[in-house]
Amino acid sequence: MATAAKPVLYNAWISSCSHRVRIALNLKGVDYEYKSVNPRTDPDYVKINPLNYITALQDGDIIVSDSLAITLYLEDKYPKHPLLPKDLKRKALNLQIANIVCSSIQPLQAQGYAIIGVRGGRLSPDESLQVIQYYIDKGFREIEKILEGCETKYATGDDVQLGDVFLAPQIYAGVDYEYKSVNPRTDPDYEKINPMKYIPALVDGDIVISDSLAISLYLEDKYPAHPLLPKDPKRKALNLQGLHEGSMSPDESLQIVQRYTDKGFRAIEKLLDGCESKYATGDDVQLGDVFLEPQIHAGINRFQIDMSKYPILGRLHDAYMEIPAFQAALPKNQPDAPSS
Ligand SMILES: N[C@@H](CCC(=O)N[C@@H](CS)C(=O)NCC(=O)O)C(=O)O
């Protein structure tokens, strides 16, 4: 009897997105093939995930990318160790945690070093680290609030659930540090930490380092996750030169938004290649449509995206605009929208 082929996970050891899926696969006892990929150097990977991000799962003729989509796919396919509790409140908590990590921390934190690549060194390592830490701290504080009073072993109970699967890699990726607010002018003891009396300073065991660049380079050596300096000497030098360079102009920010929107829209166009149905995946409105329309709307109305480059998305947008529920949800139709 022929045995079904194992699912293949395209991933990378360091990637927190891959890490989440590996936890889910392991909990569910799925025997899978580990395929290490680097989207930047593997030209064929884009055929698996048109967005060229890791991670993606190939299960027979089904290919799913995006860690949340993959985890929900696994949840449906492999009933062992359910990751979403039946209880609605706990289920909602799990979905919130997963999505905060997936949408409100990781992609924003990734900006911290993506900008280095895009701008060829406009952010210094120190500034990048600050961007990363800002978004991790913001997300973690939100999750702390959501879990206030939590006394269970894991986030939402005494068994590991979806929230834990998404939390653990994010905690692993972030450097857990104690935040100590100081005012060098009024804090007499601070001089013992940094005789120059400048902030910041980092105390790590018996190592005390002051100067933000020195601290960043120390962190770069000690924590290999998310390297902030490229290996290539020229790009590395550019990054180091970029120190203290100013922030981006609105024009430059718009270019970055357009670049990522274009990347995403081109990938979705490829995913929907040959789509002749009324909506994205059939003749009834589904989850994909609910997520697509706001992005297309923002692209057209806020970020000057030329939709003629994406014929399928353009056609879907026209179809969405005929649906009263979509019309009613448009930003301009909301009570707090400014009157034009
Ligand atoms: N929402 C996606 C995000 C995917 C993503 O950002 N993947 C990162 C690794 S964790 C990546 O591919 N980075 C490589 C690059 O930007 O070239 C998911 O959860 O899978």
pLDDT (tens digit, 9 = 90+) per residue, 193-220?
877 777 778 888 878 877 666 777 777 7
What's the CA gap between 5 and 276, in Å, rounded?
A: 31
Q: Is 137 helix (H, G, I), strand (E, B) or coil?
A: helix
Q: Residue 319 Cα, ligand 1 centroid: separation in angstroms?
A: 30
What's the CA gap between 219 and 135, in Å, rounded?
A: 18
- For residue 248, the model assigns a pLDDT of 57
Amino acid at 28: K
- Roughly how many angstroms between the first and final C-alpha of the chain, as a whole number? 68
In this predicted model, which residue has the larger pLDDT, 65 or 211?
65
Q: Are strands 201-204 and 62-65 parallel, antiparallel or unpaired?
A: unpaired
Is the pLDDT assigned to residue 19 strictly greater than 80?
yes
Identity of the highest mean pLDDT range in 52-66, 147-161, 220-234: 52-66
Q: What angle (nearest 5°) sits at the alpha carbon of residue 280, between those of residues 275 and 281?
A: 80
Single out the residue of 281, 301, 304, 283 nearest to residue 291, CA to CA.
Answer: 281
Q: Which two tokens stand for residue 83?
A: 């990751």
The verdict on the CB of residue 161 being under 6 Å from ligand 1 is no
What are the backbone angles phi and psi of residue 64, rounded to the nearest 5°?
-125, 130
Q: Is 106 helix (H, G, I), strand (E, B) or coil?
A: helix
- For residue 234, the model assigns a pLDDT of 58
What's the CA gap between 318 and 320, in Å, rounded?
A: 6
What's the CA gap between 283 and 275, in Å, rounded?
A: 11
Contacts of 94 by beta carbon, 8 Å cutoff, 6+ apart = 83, 84, 85, 155, 156, 161, 162, 163
The verdict on the CB of residue 10 being under 6 Å from ligand 1 is no
The verdict on the CB of residue 126 being under 6 Å from ligand 1 is no
The verdict on the CB of residue 17 being under 6 Å from ligand 1 is yes
Q: Residue 112 Cα, ligand 1 centroid: separation in angstroms?
A: 13
Is the pLDDT assigned to residue 157 strictly greater than 90?
no
Contact 12, 38 (CB under 8 A): yes
In tens, the pLDDT along 92-106 reads 888 888 888 888 777
The verdict on the CB of residue 102 being under 6 Å from ligand 1 is yes
Single out the residue of 288, 308, 307, 290 nearest to residue 299, CA to CA.
Answer: 307
Atom number of ligand 1 nearest to Cα 15: 10
In tens, the pLDDT along 293-310 reads 888 998 898 888 899 999
- Mutating to test ligand 1, I would choose from 16, 22, 51, 54 the residue with most ligand atoms within 8 A of its C-beta, which is 54
What are the backbone angles phi and psi of residue 166, rounded to the nearest 5°?
-85, -30
What's the CA gap between 90 and 157, in Å, rounded?
A: 8
- Mutating to test ligand 1, I would choose from 40, 49, 53, 226 the residue with most ligand atoms within 8 A of its C-beta, which is 53
Domains of the chain and CATH, by start: 8-77 (3.40.30.10), 88-172 (1.20.1050.10), 175-215 (no CATH), 250-333 (1.20.1050.10)
Q: Is 326 helix (H, G, I), strand (E, B) or coil?
A: helix
Q: Any bridge partners for residue 62, and if so which?
A: 59
- Mutating to test ligand 1, I would choose from 106, 108, 111, 256 the residue with most ligand atoms within 8 A of its C-beta, which is 106
